[in-house]
Structures are given as structure tokens and as C-alpha cells.
């Protein structure tokens, strides 16, 4: 390490690595970049423990556009991240998302969300009960009033592959990564000036990027700042079933989608198995180091909902489970990307509320533009800036799983 860097990025998972990649890929940037990551194994990183999916079915046009760019990057990832002839393959499965609505309120939300999606030319269709039954005959549809299905640009992929692709390419382009932990951030008035690492090194810097996931509030407090982000736990289960459900050739070549049940349970294929989880109504903040799975969620909530939705899911067996953290923005469930209005060389890239993996490409590009040009150049993400935090003005995202 040197003693001074133009940009220090705190957090080296997918968001921090994406920022480092886009900075060093831009010919207008000639500075130095240091990424500080406390755990090089990424064993408890939200990136590595996520459901690894991407969708365009959001309630805000800006989030739709962010994921449309993410889908474009995933499609071209091998070419973009090639290093010494090695082209990473994210193994993208374009199975689509399938949202199911049962109540009048859920139907209205799907219709309003669909209008936002279509305003961005997202390839999403609304189906009535008969169309849903025809597309996915294994699903019980008697109680379903409306469904929303993403016909392209949605699916699941290799989560750590995305992160490591960004990281490897960023390093090849000159970014430096160090295994360490930021324990203090020094400020002089309206500017941060340096970071102190756990190893004892003091690093001078021109810009600090907070990309520390569920620990974002802790990082912000080191600089005397606040952000309403806290860790929320999600337990994911992988299960096998006695009778595998089948789709039809009329929809996505027979693949099954990522289905979001009205109960809040979601399920998607995971190789020859299935991955499932549940968004609990009671969703408390947890300790940063609490990764104990909530085993009871499967028996109490997930299995009953799946069995009710499909006969194929009546006889299933859990074969693996783990818990990960959402970096949850308690204000509006939306990411915060932008400068602090008073400490302008402190940039937030936080609060993704479960969407960080798919939103990393647009976030990395946007933050790099703020640093290089002082403004967003490709996609205006101003609505997602920190100013709304100061003003307590939610910019709500309703489509949170």
C-alpha cells in the first residue's frame, strides 16, 4: 500500500468491486484506487449469501432502468471482464420472475408496477388466471386473480462470479485491494481526509466510498454521519422434491420461473433442486454477526405455502440452508447512492435492501461518474441520493421480496 490514494472504497464485495472496475475502466480517471475488505473469503458477505437473481419488475422506473443495465452487463460479462484470455461465465438462467396476486390490493399494486415497467419498455406481461394455468400447469391458480411475468431480462446467475469478475478486472486495470478493516475516518470540517486501518496504517484520501453493505451505518458514523441502514436476516433453504414440476414449451422453453407467492414465499430452480425463502412480516434488525438460520421458517411458513401452491411441492426435503443479511434501508427500502450534501467527498453506495447484486453494475458506473465528472452522465440516479435521508422524504420501492 501507498500512504495516499485518490479514492478509498470501504467494502470489497460486489458494490465496492464494481465501483473500482468502473473507475479504472474510465480513460478520464487517472487516479489511484484502494479497496479495503475485512474478509477476503466473503463468507458472510451479502453478495455471497444472496439468491443471485435479477429482475425488472420494480415499482419505480429508475429501479427498472438500473436492472435493465444490469441485465445488459450480465449478458456481455465475459467480454467486459476478460483478463489474459479468461472470460468469466455467469451461467445466467433466464427463467423470469412470476409475481402472483390474490387480493384486490395486490392486484392493484401489480397493475401500477406494470405501468412503471412498461414505461421503460420492460418485457413484462400481465396474465389472468387461465393464461397462468396454461403457462405453468403445475401451479394451483384457483385463488389467483392476476400474475405478472418477466419474459426476458430476468433470471438468476453466479453471484460470486459477478463479484470476482469485477474484482479481477479492476485489479488488472490498476485498482489495489487490501485485506484490512477501516476503524476510523478523519474529517477536517466538511471533508474526510484519511482512514485508519486496523493494521495501524493511516491512508490519506481525496474521496471515500461507503460500500460496506449491512455495516454501512457503522462506517458512516466513523465520519460523524448517519444512514438508516441495518442488517435484516433472510434464511434460504435448498430443497429436493419427490415429483419435479414441469413448465410448458410455450413459456421460456419449459423452464420454471422464480415464483413469488402472495404469502411472501419465493421459490426458484437451483440446479436439480429448488431455492426458497420467505419475507417475514416481523423483520427485526439483527446483530452484524448473527448468521444463525431460522430453521422454523421452513416448517411454519414456507412448506405450507408451497404445498398449497403446487402438488409437486407437497413432498419436499431440505438439503441445505444458510442465512444472509439484507442491507435494509428502513426509510424506503431503496438504495442510497450519492454524495453527502455537507461532506461532499464522502459517497454512499448503501441500503440496497436485497437488490445489491443486480444493481451493482449501474451503481458502480454511477459512483464512478460522480467521482470523475461530479455528476451522473449515463443514468440519472439523483432520486436515489442522500438528500432524501436528510429531508426524511421516502422514495418508496414497493416491490421488495
Q: Which residue has the higher pLDDT, 243 or 109?
A: 109
- Does residue 175 lie within any of the structural domains? yes
C-alpha cell at 276: 426458497
Same domain, 285 and 379: no
Say which CATH number the domain at 208 has: 3.50.50.60
Q: Give residue 340's pLDDT band: very low, low, confident or very high (50, 70, 90).
A: very high
Q: Dihedral through CA 70, CA 76, CA 78, CA 80, nearest 10?
A: -80
Residue 252 has pLDDT above 60, yes or no: no
For residues 119 and 218, membership in a common domain is answered with no
Tell me the C-alpha distance between 59 and 399, whole Å. Answer: 6
Grid cell for residue 38: 475485512
Residues 42 and 187 reside in one and the same domain: yes
pLDDT of 349 > 90? The answer is yes
Of 53, 71, 156, 65, residue with least CA distance to 117? 65
Residues 237 and 210 placed together within one structural domain of the fold: no
What CATH number should be reported for the domain holding residue 142?
A: 3.30.9.10
| Calpha distance 2→350 (Å, rounded) | 27
- Measured between alpha carbons, how far is 208 from 370 in angstroms, rounded to an integer? 12
Is the pLDDT at 398 greater than 90? The verdict is no
pTM of the model: 0.95
In a domain, 77, yes or no: no
Q: What is the pLDDT, as a whole number, of residue 255?
A: 65
Residue 271 lies in a domain: yes
Choose the final residue of a domain: 313, 328, 343.
328
Mean pLDDT across the stretch 118-122? 97
Q: Is residue 80 part of a domain?
A: no
When pLDDT is cut at 50, 70 and 90, the band that residue 248 belongs to is very low
Q: How many other β-carbons are positioned within 10 Å of the β-carbon of residue 133?
A: 17
Q: The cell 448473527 sits on which residue? A: 290
User: Parallel, antiparallel, or unpaired: how do β-strands 182-188 and 191-197 relate?
Assistant: antiparallel
Helix H or strand E segment including 6: strand 4-10
| Residue 195 and residue 258 in one domain | no
Cα–Cα dist 296/301, whole Å = 8
Are 235 and 284 part of one and the same domain?
Answer: yes
Q: Are residues 140 and 174 in the same domain?
A: no
What are 259's three cell numbers?
A: 415464483
- Domain hosting 266: range is 94-153+231-328
User: Of 328, 363, 378, which marks where a domain is finished?
Assistant: 328
Beta bridge partners of 56: none
277 in the same domain as 221: no
Q: How many residues does the chain have?
A: 401
Q: Is the pLDDT of residue 251 over 70?
A: no
Q: How confident is the model at residue 160 (pLDDT cuts 50, 70, 90)?
A: very high
Residues 175 and 285 both lie in one domain: no
Q: Could you tell me if 384 and 339 lie in one domain?
A: yes
Give yes or no for a contact between 162 and 360, defined as CB atoms under 8 angstroms apart: yes
Q: Is the pLDDT of residue 213 over 80?
A: yes
Beta bridge partners of 327: 231
246 and 344 in one domain?
A: no
Same domain, 138 and 104: yes
What letter does residue 315 receive in the DSSP assignment?
A: S
Amino acid at each position: 500500500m501507498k500512504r495516499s490514494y485518490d479514492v478509498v472504497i470501504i467494502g470489497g464485495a460486489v458494490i465496492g468491486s464494481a465501483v473500482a472496475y468502473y473507475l479504472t475502466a474510465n480513460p478520464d480517471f487517472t487516479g489511484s484506487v484502494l479497496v479495503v475488505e475485512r474478509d477476503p473469503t466473503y463468507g458472510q458477505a451479502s453478495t455471497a449469501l444472496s439468491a443471485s437473481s435479477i429482475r425488472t419488475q420494480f415499482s419505480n422506473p429508475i429501479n427498472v432502468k438500473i436492472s435493465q443495465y444490469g441485465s445488459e452487463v450480465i449478458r456481455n460479462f465475459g467480454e467486459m471482464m476478460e483478463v489474459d484470455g479468461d472470460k468469466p461465465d455467469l451461467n445466467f438462467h433466464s427463467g423470469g420472475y412470476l409475481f402472483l396476486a390474490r387480493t384486490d390490493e395486490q392486484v392493484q399494486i401489480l397493475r401500477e408496477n406494470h405501468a412503471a415497467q412498461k414505461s421503460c419498455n420492460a418485457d413484462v406481461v400481465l396474465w389472468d388466471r387461465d393464461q397462468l394455468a396454461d403457462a405453468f400447469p403445475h401451479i394451483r391458480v384457483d385463488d389467483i386473480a392476476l400474475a405478472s411475468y418477466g419474459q426476458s431480462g430476468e433470471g438468476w446467475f453466479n453471484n460470486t462470479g459477478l463479484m470476482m469478475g469485477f474484482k479481477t478486472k479492476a485489479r488488472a486495470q490498476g485498482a489495489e485491494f487490501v485485506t484490512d478493516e477501516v476503524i476510523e475516518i478523519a474529517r477536517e470540517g466538511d471533508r474526510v481526509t484519511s482512514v485508519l486501518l486496523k493494521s495501524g496504517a493511516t491512508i490519506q484520501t481525496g474521496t471515500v466510498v461507503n460500500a460496506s453493505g449491512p455495516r454501512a451505518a457503522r462506517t458512516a458514523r466513523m465520519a460523524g454521519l448517519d444512514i438508516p441502514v441495518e442488517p435484516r436476516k433472510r434464511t434460504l433453504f435448498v430443497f429436493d422434491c419427490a415429483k419435479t414440476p414441469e413448465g410448458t414449451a410455450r413459456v421460456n422453453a419449459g423452464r420454471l420461473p422464480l415464483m413469488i407467492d402472495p404469502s411472501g414465499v419465493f421459490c426458484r430452480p437451483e440446479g436439480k433442486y429448488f431455492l426458497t425463502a420467505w419475507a417475514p412480516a416481523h423483520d427485526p434488525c439483527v446483530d452484524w454477526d448473527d448468521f444463525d438460520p431460522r430453521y422454523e421458517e421452513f416448517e411454519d411458513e414456507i412448506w405450507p405455502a408451497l404445498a398449497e401452491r403446487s402438488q409437486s411441492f407437497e413432498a419436499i426435503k431440505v438439503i441445505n440452508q444458510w442465512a444472509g443479511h439484507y442491507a435494509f434501508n428502513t426509510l424506503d427500502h431503496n438504495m442510497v447512492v450519492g454524495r453527502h450534501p455537507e461532506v461532499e467527498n464522502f459517497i454512499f453506495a448503501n441500503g440496497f435492501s436485497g437488490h445489491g447484486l443486480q444493481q451493482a453494475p449501474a451503481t458502480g458506473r454511477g459512483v464512478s461518474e460522480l467521482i470523475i465528472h461530479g455528476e451522473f452522465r449515463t443514468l440519472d440516479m439523483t432520486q436515489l441520493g442522500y438528500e432524501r435521508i436528510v429531508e426524511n422524504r421516502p422514495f418508496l420501492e414497493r416491490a421488495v421480496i
